[in-house]
Amino acid sequence: MAYKNDATGITEGREVTNGMILIDYKDRRPIYEQVIEKLQQMILCGALEPHSPMPSVRNLAMELSLNPNTIQRAYQALEHTGYIYTIKGKGSFVSELSAAADNKRREIEGELQKSIDKAMLSGITADELRQMVERCITASEREKL
């Protein structure tokens, strides 16, 4: 039995997120927030399937070279917002998508609202904003390759 992760990041019976989560130490946001965001995206885009086990707190901490407390904090936030659920002693598991997806939509729309409010207050017009958004969408689609 392999109790420690091997080079592929796969552990006995439990899929792990090898290489999918990269911490950016230049990012001003705290690490636990970056972990939250990456896991949310993996859940929402289907990389982690509903009811499949999340990596354990300690394993993910090892894998990312972080303290277990940091991962714990992220997991608790994910549970509070409906992305995962926990069974005592067994582990944390991916929730059904519906609730999580709605939360993410609200979160993104809130961010857009803030940016757009700032833009309007700074004298940027609605049409300018629409052009910007189209450029951003194009750039974002190009990145997906």
Partner DNA sequence: CATACTGTATTAAATGTATTAATACAGTTA
Partner DNA sequence: TAACTGTATTAATACATTTAATACAGTATG
Q: What is the number of H-type helices and E-type strands within the chain?
A: 5, 2
CA distances (Å), origin 120, targets 13, 131, 137: 52, 14, 20
Helix (H, G, I), strand (E, B) or coil at 11: strand
| Residues making contact with a second copy (CB under 8 A) | 37, 40-41, 44-46, 101, 104-105, 108-109, 111-113, 115-124, 126, 128-130, 132-133, 135-137, 139-141, 143-144
DSSP 117: H
List the beta strands (DSSP E) in 20-77: none
Q: Which does 76 bind (CB under 5 to 8 A by kind): DNA, a second copy, none?
A: DNA
When asked if residue 83 is in the footprint of DNA (CB under 7 A), the reply is no
Q: Minimum distance from CB of 106 to DNA (Å)?
A: 21
Chain contacts with DNA (rule: CB under 7 A): 3, 11, 14, 30-32, 54, 56-59, 65-70, 72-73, 75-76, 79, 86-92
